[in-house]
Amino acid sequence: MTALQNGHFDSTTALAWATFTENLHARLRTLPRGDYITVSAAQASPGERGLRPYIDVAATDRGVLVSVAALPSLLYPDAPDTTAMDVQLLDCGWLDRGKPVADGSIIDLTRTDTRADAALVAEMITRVFREIWNVPHPSFLSVWSVAADGASSGPVDLQRGIVGRTTGAATESPSESSDDVPAELTALQTLCQLIGRRVDAHTVRSVCADGDLDALKARAVSLHRSAAVRARPDDASAEHSVAVWKNLARTWLLVAHSMDAVTRADRHACR
């Protein structure tokens, strides 16, 4: 396969994941209370209790989203590196132990988010399946919706439809212009760019001492999504520009992830 063909394959796969994530976000944002959806890795071998890697997201009566993710070490207890995979899952924000099953064991972890964080939840779900479970393409995922009344349950197609894209300068709205980015986010973005990973909680709190962490996190997610849209190539001549925007999208996601860890820890401390 030539380099150009490789590049086309990579961009096609990236667009497929972007479409899946965008559609998942839309689904989570409007998920009726009492309903839930299940995303599972259809290509994986069944693990303990016949389960495959999964993430369930339910909309509760309190208007929040509760996500339940399979714990790798208990799903595949004999597989190598599952402990490291558990750590990755924790790193993605699934921090709470799920409810014990009949034999008393815990087979999953949970996280709780507001609907305002639906975009971040969708991004994290995509990240878990891509980076932890090594799903190569969203076509290997199965998505099932379950209504509270059971009347409208069934499979959900999150892969069709092209995420709306714009070209040129019109892609970036005035609210996403670099001149309008809060200084706190600019500082965190620079740090994440330099170290290539998320920053620690102490650094986030120091940089954002007087800022609204929830609002700043939402803005970081918005900036990530804006950059991700511009990272979708329209032609081969845009290869360099695409690489720049991909890197920027990744960095803004690291910023959002850094802030999410802090706000989540703060919520735990208040319990």
Per-residue model confidence as pLDDT tens digits over 12-31 = 787 788 889 889 998 999 99
How much is the pLDDT for 10? 61
Confirm whether 130 is domain-assigned: yes
How much is the pLDDT for 163? 43
**Range of the structural domain that residue 56 is part of:** 11-155
| Same domain assignment for residues 98 and 212 | no
How much is the pLDDT for 269? 63
| Same domain assignment for residues 113 and 195 | no
Kindly report the CA angle at 176 between 173 and 181, in degrees rounded to 5? 155
Residues 66-83 have a mean pLDDT of: 90
Question: Per-residue pLDDT for 171 more than 90?
Answer: no
pLDDT band with cut points at 50, 70 and 90 for residue 80: confident
**Both structure tokens of 151:** 């009347």
Helix (H, G, I), strand (E, B) or coil at 235: coil
Question: Per-residue pLDDT for 238 more than 60?
Answer: no
Question: Per-residue pLDDT for 240 more than 60?
Answer: no
Q: Tokens 């950059």 correspond to what residue?
A: 227
Residues 198-209 have a mean pLDDT of: 88
Question: Per-residue pLDDT for 169 more than 50?
Answer: no
| Same domain assignment for residues 117 and 192 | no
| Same domain assignment for residues 90 and 151 | yes
How much is the pLDDT for 165? 42
Confirm whether 169 is domain-assigned: no
| Same domain assignment for residues 151 and 193 | no
| Same domain assignment for residues 110 and 46 | yes
User: Into how many domains does the chain fold?
Assistant: 2
Structure-model confidence comparison of residues 67 and 116, the more confident one: 67
Confirm whether 135 is domain-assigned: yes
**Both structure tokens of 234:** 């329209």
How much is the pLDDT for 107? 82
How much is the pLDDT for 18? 82
| Same domain assignment for residues 29 and 77 | yes
This prediction's pTM? 0.64
Q: Where are the alpha helices (DSSP H) in the chain?
A: 3-29, 72-75, 82-91, 118-127, 183-195, 201-207, 213-230, 239-269
Element at 141 (helix H, strand E) = strand 141-146
Residue 154: CB atoms within 10 A of its CB come to 8
| Same domain assignment for residues 89 and 39 | yes
| Same domain assignment for residues 196 and 132 | no
pLDDT band with cut points at 50, 70 and 90 for residue 225: confident
| Same domain assignment for residues 243 and 190 | yes
Spatial CA neighbour of 24 closest among 170, 173, 100, 128: 128
Helix (H, G, I), strand (E, B) or coil at 79: coil
Select the highest-mean-pLDDT range: 3-12, 152-161, 163-172. Answer: 152-161
pLDDT band with cut points at 50, 70 and 90 for residue 72: very high
pLDDT band with cut points at 50, 70 and 90 for residue 241: low
Question: Per-residue pLDDT for 5 more than 80?
Answer: no
Residues 193-211 have a mean pLDDT of: 85
Q: What is the mean pLDDT of the chain?
A: 80
Residues 151-176 have a mean pLDDT of: 56
How much is the pLDDT for 3? 37
Residues 173-196 have a mean pLDDT of: 70
Confirm whether 5 is domain-assigned: no
Can you give the CATH number for the domain in which 62 is found? 3.30.1460
Spatial CA neighbour of 111 closest among 52, 164, 219, 120: 120
| Same domain assignment for residues 235 and 151 | no
Confirm whether 170 is domain-assigned: no
Question: Per-residue pLDDT for 233 more than 80?
Answer: no
How much is the pLDDT for 24? 93
| Same domain assignment for residues 196 and 256 | yes
Confirm whether 160 is domain-assigned: no
Give the list of residues 6+ apart from residue 187 with CB closer than 8 angstroms, or none. 207
How much is the pLDDT for 166? 38
Confirm whether 175 is domain-assigned: no
Confirm whether 119 is domain-assigned: yes
